[in-house]
Structure 1
């Protein structure tokens, strides 16, 4: 029997059982669509992670006091000074972060408030559209000044940075003069959304806004990416020297390790979701196998007649196997095409989705493999039927 004739018989059977074939393919459609979604969400997660740390130098090291530790002690100005004196440290700054209410001309908004020292701008590679950043002189003079992110300017000053300069804004009920407007970043950086934040001189902000117990940390920058471990060792020595009884109350992490941990978490989530999609495809494959078994039973006499007129065993095997592959491939194609609409669907849930050709290929490949694997046994059973038994089957 020619290949064309085999395909003709397959399509005739599929056409006569359209509804059953559709229900069979539904599991494959859902499975392949899920794989497309999984890879898109996984790539979106990786993109979010990379964006969050894109502006954080690879040589950045974060030192945090941990209030959850059994013994607790805060970081101090001496810690910052000693860390700056380390030979492998280029610069360091103190950061204290909290939330605050901003008010301007009867409009109010909630934002992240960060009390920072001067080197924060260099470490995070921040540029300004207008004005200047906070200096150590502002801290010494206890100046009530603020630098704001672009989203705050957009909300209060019609997206005009020059309009915001020298204006007074209420932060937690106190007046601060805006001295600088940061350029838009468009993403989080090291876990902070710079665009939606307001920055204050460290001591001023710590006393009036962020409070003395709010997420205090020192952020240091190694003089070279190759010296990160050396800088960490020096910083550890400083912490142990200054806080001998409470050294275990501090965490020291470099940006590279933090980024790697975040990427690993995103990859783990992608693998987990892919496993779920694989299970859906597996169930769909079992559905194909079940339908083919029913089809073999229904067409037993037909198989007997085909064998009686000389149809070869391998042709009957191909007939049922091709039917399985066609069903699964069609389901895979439909599921992959549905993935085109995934970004619009995912957008409704504020989840970043990045379409990938790799995900589409994997989805289609899995579908074909599923159809082939689960279709082979029923096809082999059909091909193994003896002509006399098939013709006498009731």
Structure 2
């Protein structure tokens, strides 16, 4: 039999069993749609992670005392100076303390994180100014009550024109501060538990005096010379802490920002793989449906197979008829599933689920569907091809 005759036979059978073919294809459609959505949501999750950490300087290292009753150590300016002077792999060092505070501007009031910082933090955390200037060394030396506010805080107090914030006075825990700058929208930072968009920066000396008190546990943020120096920088910091705190040095936590970013990406990938495995199971169920229907079809068409063999159809012709039918059905299900996913994705955005479609996800989903159809279609096709003409013709 020629390929054209084989295809003609397949399409005649498909047209004659439309309802059965559609129900058979349904499992493949759902499976393919799920694969595309899972891959697109996974891609969207990874993009969201990258955007969230876009302002993160991957050379940043955070040093802090551990939490709990057993922690008896506390960082001070002496450790910051020692790290700056004795760690050649370190480029910049800053001290940070933070607490919650009540911030108000006229009748608008909110609770936000307030961080006491030194000038170096701007470069370490890749902070960018939308308007005004950041805190400098003179502000710390003179204990000036000045503040740099995050983008979201500025929008809350000054609405559409946040540039008006510079020069205005806000109240933090009952004391008035002059706003000297507004940050650009940043996303995450290397300061754990502190979002620059929703926080306020003031001089370290001012925060220690009016916000946190001297009992607060400061954090040291260090910036490595470059990404290749992060490991050596951590070793140097560990060495300094061991020389100063000896057997208590293990009470400190040292975290580099690059590992946080990689950890977030790995989590997104793991979730994508878990969801993809579920989608694969759905496709497998669809493949089993194709196999079952083909077995029934072989039974129903046993006499037809006998006639085809009697008039000269070879074993491989029969095999191709049933195998190509499985491939065509699964490929059609794959295409419909991909088209369906294109319709579903806008609905996901409505529910604030980010999905980024790609040609790779469409290709992989289509390949999965065809592969499943081929795998599960082969055995029934082989069974049909193995039928003996006389037995097939005598089958009732």
TM-score (norm 1): 0.90
Name the SS for the 1:372 alignment partner. Answer: helix
Q: Which residue of 2 aligns with 1:168?
A: 169
Is 2:139 the partner of 1:143? no
Name the SS for the 1:85 alignment partner. Answer: helix
Q: Which residue of 1 aligns with 2:293?
A: 291
Q: Which residue of 1 aligns with 2:274?
A: 272
1:24-43 to 2 correspondence within 5 Å?
A: 24-43=24-43
Distance change >3 Å, CA 90–CA 373, structure 1 → 2? same
Q: Which residue of 2 aligns with 1:224?
A: 226
CA distance in 1, matches of 2:231, 2:36: 40
Q: Which residue of 1 aligns with 2:313?
A: 311
Distance change >3 Å, CA 385–CA 63, structure 1 → 2? same
Q: Which residue of 1 aligns with 2:160?
A: 159
1:1-394 to 2 correspondence within 5 Å?
A: 1-68=1-68, 70-86=70-86, 87-185=88-186, 187-190=187-190, 193-205=195-207, 208-209=210-211, 216-394=218-396
Q: Once structures 1 and 2 are overlaid, which stretch shifts more, 213-222 or 120-129?
A: 213-222
Q: Once structures 1 and 2 are overlaid, which stretch shifts more, 249-258 or 323-332?
A: 249-258
Structure 1 gaps, min length 5: none
CA distance in 2, matches of 1:285, 1:74: 62
Q: Deviations over 1:274-311 (max 9, x none)?
A: 22221221111111111111111122222222222222
Distance change >3 Å, CA 15–CA 130, structure 1 → 2? same
Distance change >3 Å, CA 312–CA 207, structure 1 → 2? farther
Contact 2:74 2:217 (8 Å CA) reproduced: no
* Cα shift at 1:122: 1.0
CA distance in 1, matches of 2:344, 2:217: 38
Distance change >3 Å, CA 88–CA 269, structure 1 → 2? same
Contact 2:36 2:362 (8 Å CA) reproduced: yes
CA distance in 2, matches of 1:70, 1:345: 50
* Cα shift at 1:94: 2.1
CA distance in 2, matches of 1:184, 1:82: 33
Contact 1:64 1:217 (8 Å CA) reproduced: yes
Q: Once structures 1 and 2 are overlaid, which stretch shifts more, 244-253 or 99-108?
A: 99-108
Contact 1:113 1:210 (8 Å CA) reproduced: no
Distance change >3 Å, CA 18–CA 97, structure 1 → 2? farther
CA distance in 1, matches of 2:278, 2:350: 22
* Cα shift at 1:236: 0.7
Distance change >3 Å, CA 206–CA 289, structure 1 → 2? farther
* Cα shift at 1:82: 1.6
Contact 1:49 1:263 (8 Å CA) reproduced: yes
CA distance in 2, matches of 1:364, 1:6: 23
TM-score (norm 2): 0.90
* Cα shift at 1:99: 4.8
Name the SS for the 1:54 alignment partner. Answer: coil
Q: Once structures 1 and 2 are overlaid, which stretch shifts more, 94-103 or 129-138?
A: 94-103
* Cα shift at 1:269: 2.2
Q: Once structures 1 and 2 are overlaid, which stretch shifts more, 45-54 or 246-255?
A: 45-54
CA distance in 1, matches of 2:69, 2:341: 46
Contact 2:75 2:217 (8 Å CA) reproduced: no
Contact 1:149 1:183 (8 Å CA) reproduced: yes
Q: Deviations over 1:346-382 (max 9, x none)?
A: 3244333222211111111111111111101011111
CA distance in 1, matches of 2:214, 2:274: 40
Contact 2:103 2:171 (8 Å CA) reproduced: yes
Contact 2:290 2:376 (8 Å CA) reproduced: yes
Q: Deviations over 1:224-269 (max 9, x none)?
A: 3332222212111122223223222222122333333332222222
RMSD: 2.5
Distance change >3 Å, CA 65–CA 45, structure 1 → 2? farther
Q: Once structures 1 and 2 are overlaid, which stretch shifts more, 318-327 or 295-304?
A: 295-304
* Cα shift at 1:202: 2.6
CA distance in 2, matches of 1:108, 1:154: 13
Name the SS for the 1:184 alignment partner. Answer: coil
